[in-house]
């Protein structure tokens, strides 16, 4: 794998995600239980997955628009599975609208609203333990939407919850057409968008966490820096 080297520039955002005040202004789409324990943000589904199926999943958006060329880092604590954890980035309306523009259709956490709806986004699935085939052969998947295009696949080093030694340090770099994802400083996948195969290269936009029920996880120390290509 060809590894592109990046350095951290100016810190654009730092959020410990340790108390309720830290998530003031964040936008929940769908229904979830939000709590804080041990100075960490704990997230889990509110609706029973067996009763509500795909409608029990949700997305939780940071309200800030971030530019292109950034390094996103956070601490991840898997607490209960089966389930799936995903991260959205470079998210915006398909015509350049803000994600929360009232002219866009209402979103309620249903996955199709995000990959084949009114928005463009990159989305990374990094804890894919929802279904038996995902647990049997674990990968991290990077997709580009509109269109649900599978852009890159990498091996997932994260163990089942019972074997986890949390926290895991997640690092995601978005630099023009380049995307690089690492767990505990191990590069899991790297992809460069050619701007043609799946449409134009995306720039800045919003970021958000997604979980598929009945996953429960905790998050801490979300930090975003400018990315400098070394």
The 10s digit of each residue's pLDDT in 89-137 is: 999 999 999 999 999 999 999 999 999 999 999 999 999 999 899 999 9
For the chain, what percent of residues have pLDDT higher than 70? 99
Q: Answer for the pair 91, 206: CB distance below 8 angstroms, yes or no.
A: yes
What's the pLDDT band for 4 if we cut at 50, 70, 90?
A: confident
The average confidence (pLDDT) of the chain is 96
pLDDT in tens, 158-173: 999 999 999 999 999 9
Taking only the tens place, the pLDDT of each residue in 183-211 is: 999 999 999 999 999 999 999 999 999 99
Domain borders along the chain are 6-15+66-211+221-229
Convert the pLDDT of each residue in 70-90 to its tens digit. Answer: 999 999 999 999 999 999 999
Q: What is the pLDDT of residue 230?
A: 85
59 burial (CB, 10 Å; 0-12 / 13-18 / 19+) is: buried
Give CATH for domain 6-15+66-211+221-229.
Answer: 2.60.120.200
Total residue count of the chain as it appears in this document: 230
At 26 the pLDDT is 98
In the predicted structure, residue 176 carries a pLDDT above the cut 90: yes
Note the pLDDT of residue 2. Answer: 61
SS3 200: coil
Closest among 72, 92, 122 to 226, alpha carbons compared: 72
pTM score of the predicted model? 0.96
Contact status, residue 37 vs residue 44, Cβ threshold 8 Å: no
- Virtual torsion, Cα 212, 68, 221, 101, nearest 10 deg: -60
């Amino acid at each position: 794998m060809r590894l592109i080297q990046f350095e951290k520039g100016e810190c654009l955002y730092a959020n410990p995600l340790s108390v309720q005040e830290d998530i003031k202004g964040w936008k929940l789409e769908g229904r979830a239980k939000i709590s804080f324990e041990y100075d960490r943000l704990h997230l889990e589904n509110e609706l029973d997955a067996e009763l509500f199926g795909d409608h029990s999943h949700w997305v939780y958006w940071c309200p800030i628009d971030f530019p292109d060329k950034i390094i996103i880092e956070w601490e991840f604590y898997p607490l209960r599975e089966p389930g799936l954890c995903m991260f959205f980035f470079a998210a915006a309306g398909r015509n350049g609208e803000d994600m929360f523009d009232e002219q866009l259709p209402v979103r309620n956490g249903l996955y199709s609203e995000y990959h084949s709806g009114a928005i463009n986004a990159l989305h990374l699935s990094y804890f894919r333990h929802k279904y038996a085939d995902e647990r049997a052969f674990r990968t991290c998947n990077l997709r580009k939407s509109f269109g649900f295009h599978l852009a890159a696949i990498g091996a997932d080093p994260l163990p089942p919850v019972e074997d986890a030694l949390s926290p895991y340090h997640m690092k995601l770099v978005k630099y023009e057409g380049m995307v690089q994802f690492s767990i505990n400083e191990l590069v899991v996948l790297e992809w460069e968008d050619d701007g043609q195969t799946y449409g134009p290269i995306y720039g800045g936009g919003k970021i958000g966490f997604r979980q598929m029920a009945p996953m429960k996880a905790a998050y801490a120390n979300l930090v975003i820096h400018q990315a400098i290509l070394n």
